[in-house]
A and B are shown apart, each in its own frame.
Chain A
């Protein structure tokens, strides 16, 4: 989603995740607002591939494209809401409403088939952990705006299937489970914007509230051992705590056509009980939903007590390559450095780079990007080297009222 994915930029519909305040200072022109334009829709799809090199459990996820974001952004000027004409030259606060569906992590969308001389088993999970989000932003002054987003957590495709055959004991298991996901959290942001003072600088601040996500998982099935058949039921009431996070971002135009941005995010996890699934969510952010550890495989994932705080640094640049008036092309690149929590509570450091391009024409904006991230994950028992590749496609349509 291009440069919008920075706390200090946040100028498209994804801002309701990155910094809800950012939408209030999107560079609307008076002309577009007078014409009732400015409303826009953003749809995003993402393809993932994950290669895992591990000493003990080599595994590969196949690539697929999944829809990951669909959002709408509806901007107003206060005078318009009050039924008055837009007043040129006078400060007229922007009020922006937005709503989105987000796939927060598809770590629970998996099929695992493993087989060894003693057992062969198949685990299939269809859970897409999602958010329905609504957001509002308000421009307090020409230089400052605030925004808040409410995320309601829910699951799509809550089915879980498990079959196993234990050859040595001649036992066959069949099980069907259901997830029930619920949760609510908030993202709050502030944006300081100095463009109106001929200083092309934006500074953003973002925080996410701590919350608990609940998964009431129940499953039922048969266990057949020779002639003996047993009915089994399982029920897990998982509650995962999600600590607060806070970040700051800065963007600046070195020349009018070159934007650079830097984000720093702080995750005060030390001593906190972290469930890795949600750590992944926070670490890699909801707009990269393919990352993360499943809530459960055959057993629920157990929490980890982090032994250190974590951070994330993101930097990027965007260059306006071509602008003919009816057609625009921008190219961009990014670099990310962050710590990563391991299952044994230790941390590793991951790096990634990304490249992308965006074209604008008529009312459309099409963005394509590639990102690759590498990080080691070391525990007392395994050494894994992950390489994740992502290709994403976004479409933004500027609607006319």
Chain B
């Protein structure tokens, strides 16, 4: 207890001594700051100089009992007071001390009033080093030199930062120079950050579609910073080709024996062949082929086609009929081919010569003519031989009443011959 009393007495004496000093730096600062607000500059100088005698460093955080920070800027406020009193040298000295201790906008404002060219010494020391990003043009890679419609052109461009500073948030801008239809691309591509001395590969993808035509295309790639500065440019050119579409040609209609087709009126041709050839670069998928003969649909024979490959010829059997009453000497055959996707549509007309039939359309079938009632191959007395025959009609219509006449040559008086038979 005795020792406790001694310590208490000592602390009390200590605090009593401090009390003689009386005003404390924080109070003086607060007085000075308030006097500055009241524009009482002389009183302010007096209070702030007293504060500086206790603690000469500007601080944004002086410990308070609650743990909350409380500011303390006696140098700054003293500088402001001297400035207003016209003592510029002193003002500059205190303001610079304040800015060095704890930079504030208020100190900066008055330092700039003293000297419009004043610069933050820290800013001078920390001027950022510039980057120098460039394309490595000799190492640009393209996956294709010629691009067909539907293909992707991938261009890989190495970017090297030859500067001393970091190239931040770089952008690759794609500027079209000479392009037609059928190309799609993002106008800008983010390059990201490139450290000083480091390289980075940017990738540009140009997509093409069916609208692409044969020719040449060119882009300029620009390397830009976020602020819009262009660091480097490179011209990229390549050839373009239209999309690899099928190209169906009609070779013709041919007779079954591949000879030239000549149609006879009124007679069926069962083995007419339609020959098609795909002379394009793309294949034709599941083509729908329709044939009309003199505007009448024709039934197509043979299995349905799944595809016609590039360069492939196909033969499609079909039946054509020239009616007997067909008057012209030529018939018209129309061929129409469609692909499922509707991307290919061919319509072509052929003219086929038509002639009168070389042989009668209604005729005896000679190999079927038979004699009956003969004796050992001879007609004898009192015998009644008969002749059986058949008649073929190759025309497309019913014949009118036919009359078969039997004519004896030479005439034998022993034969009794019926005159006609319907």
Contact = CB atoms under 8 A, between A and B. Distances in A.
Interface of A: 11, 25-27, 30, 88-91, 140-144, 190, 192-193, 195-198, 200, 202-203, 205, 246, 248, 253, 255-259, 266, 268, 318, 320, 323, 330
Interface stretch (B22-30, B289-297, B311-319, B384-392): B22-30
A25 B15 CA distance: 14
Nearest to B7: A248
Contact of B19 (A141, A246, A268): A141
A353 B23 CA distance: 41
Contacts of A323: 68
B18 A198 contact: no
A144 B15 contact: yes
Contact of A195 (B19, B31, B61, B65): B65
Given A190-B8, A190-B12, A142 B63 contact: no
Contacts of B7: 248
A203 B11 contact: yes
Contacts of A318: 67
A198 B67 contact: no
Interface in B30-48: 30-31, 34, 47
B31 A89 contact: yes
Given A142-B24, A205-B4, A246-B1, A256 B11 contact: no
Contacts of A268: 1
A25 B24 CA distance: 15
25 contacts: A27-B64, A27-B65, A88-B30, A88-B31, A89-B34, A142-B18, A142-B19, A142-B22, A143-B14, A144-B11, A192-B12, A192-B15, A193-B65, A196-B26, A197-B18, A197-B24, A197-B54, A198-B25, A198-B55, A246-B4, A256-B62, A256-B63, A318-B67, A320-B67, A323-B68
B15, B16, B24, B68: residue with the most chain A Cβ atoms closer than 10 Å = B15
Contact of B66 (A27, A88, A140, A205): A27
B67 A257 contact: yes
B30 to A, nearest CB: 6
Nearest to B47: A89
B1 A91 contact: no
A330 B67 contact: yes
B369 interface: no
B144 interface: no
B69 interface: yes
Interface of B: 1, 4, 7-8, 11-12, 14-16, 18-19, 22-28, 30-31, 34, 47, 54-55, 61-69, 72
Please name the 8 residue pairs, one residue from A and one from B, whose CB atoms are nearest each other, closest first.
Answer: A89-B31, A27-B65, A143-B15, A141-B19, A200-B63, A144-B15, A89-B27, A320-B67
A192 B15 CA distance: 7
Contact of A256 (B8, B34, B47, B69): B69
A253 B31 CA distance: 25
B67 A253 contact: yes
Nearest to A195: B65
A253 B63 contact: yes
Contacts of B30: 30, 88-89
B8 A205 contact: yes
Contacts of B61: 256
B18 A141 contact: yes
B1 A197 contact: no
Contacts of A90: 23, 27
Given A142-B24, A323-B68, A198 B31 contact: no
Nearest to B34: A88
Contacts of A200: 63-65
A198 B68 contact: no
Contacts of B54: 197-198
A197 B1 CA distance: 29
A88 B24 CA distance: 12
A259 B63 CA distance: 10
B50 to A, nearest CB: 10
A143 B20 CA distance: 11
A198 B11 contact: no
A253 B65 CA distance: 8
A317 B72 CA distance: 26
B63 A25 contact: no
Contacts of B26: 196, 198
B26, B34, B61: residue with the most chain A Cβ atoms closer than 10 Å = B26
A25, A89, A248, A257: residue with the most chain B Cβ atoms closer than 10 Å = A89
Contacts of A256: 61-64, 67-69
A192 B11 contact: yes
Contacts of A89: 23, 27-28, 30-31, 34, 47
Given A256-B67, A256-B69, A268-B1, A197 B12 contact: no
Nearest to B72: A198
Given A197-B24, A198-B55, A26 B15 contact: no
A11 B65 contact: yes
Contacts of A197: 18, 24-25, 54
Given A196-B27, A197-B25, A25 B65 contact: yes
B229 to A, nearest CB: 40
A302 B148 CA distance: 108
A253 B25 CA distance: 19
A203 B62 CA distance: 19
B7, B12, B31: residue with the most chain A Cβ atoms closer than 10 Å = B12
B65 A91 contact: no
A318 B11 CA distance: 25
Contacts of B68: 256, 320, 323
Nearest to A257: B67
A198 B63 contact: yes
B22 A195 contact: no
